[in-house]
Amino acid sequence: MIKYAFIFLLLTPPQLSPRQAAPNANTEPSSCLSTELNEYDAEILLYMLPASVTSRGNGRKIGWELQDSPKLNQKDFFSFYLYDVRAPANSSPTIGYFAINKHTGEVWDMSRAESVESEDLSAVQKILRRGHCVDEKILKAYASRRPDILNSK
């Protein structure tokens, strides 16, 4: 009986509200309303960063902390301190400071003041954007936002 219930759950698509409905060929663009990425989505992007992938490949364990500072644009971005959990006591655990745009999923390297790009990161961004109904209009509207510049809008 449990086996059949499990199969049923696997074959039954999740019921999403119109606000959460993912766009497809059969839905009108207006039926999919854009939503902001949440902290969990941002953590997935952190995990896929090239710096994270390299660190894990070198046998390190990564960790992160959400940064809370009035000097950062917290309205539009999640800002994180990314570090090596297993760093020796005589070395710096810092991997970097990164910010994720809540509207677009764009990732910023705060030390370099530039966007981070990689093939794997782009693939995950595409999935998250589709799930949050982020279209070209939203990407253009928030493209000029920066994590270190406070916006009054």
Q: Are 69 and 79 in contact (CB under 8 A)?
A: yes
Residue 9 domain-assigned? no
Predicted confidence (pLDDT) at residue 152 exceeds the cutoff of 80: no
Residue 100 domain-assigned? yes
Phi, psi for 138 (deg, rounded to 5): -65, -45
Encode pLDDT of 100-113 as tens digits.
Answer: 999 999 999 999 99
Residue 25 domain-assigned? no
Question: What type of residue sits at position 22?
Answer: A
Helix (H) or strand (E) holding 122, with range, is helix 119-131
C-alpha 5: how far from chain center: 33
Residues near 100 by beta carbon (within 8 Å), at least 6 away in sequence: 37, 41, 42, 45, 46, 77, 78, 80, 106, 107, 108
> Measured between alpha carbons, how far is residue 136 from residues 40, 104, 126 in Å?
23, 10, 12
Residue 129 domain-assigned? yes
Residue 56 domain-assigned? yes
Q: How many domains does the chain have?
A: 1
Q: Which pLDDT does position 27 carry in this prediction?
A: 45
Q: What is the CATH number of the domain that holds 137?
A: 3.10.450.170
Report the C-alpha gap between 19 and 68 in whole angstroms. 29
Q: Are 74 and 66 in contact (CB under 8 A)?
A: no
Residue 152 domain-assigned? no
Encode pLDDT of 8-41 as tens digits.
Answer: 333 444 444 444 444 454 444 557 899 999 999 9
User: Of residues 148 and 16, which shows the higher confidence score?
Assistant: 148
Residue 44 domain-assigned? yes
Q: pLDDT band for 149, please (50, 70, 90 cuts).
A: confident
Q: Give residue 40's domain range.
A: 36-142
Residue 29 domain-assigned? no
Q: What is the pTM for the complete model shown?
A: 0.77
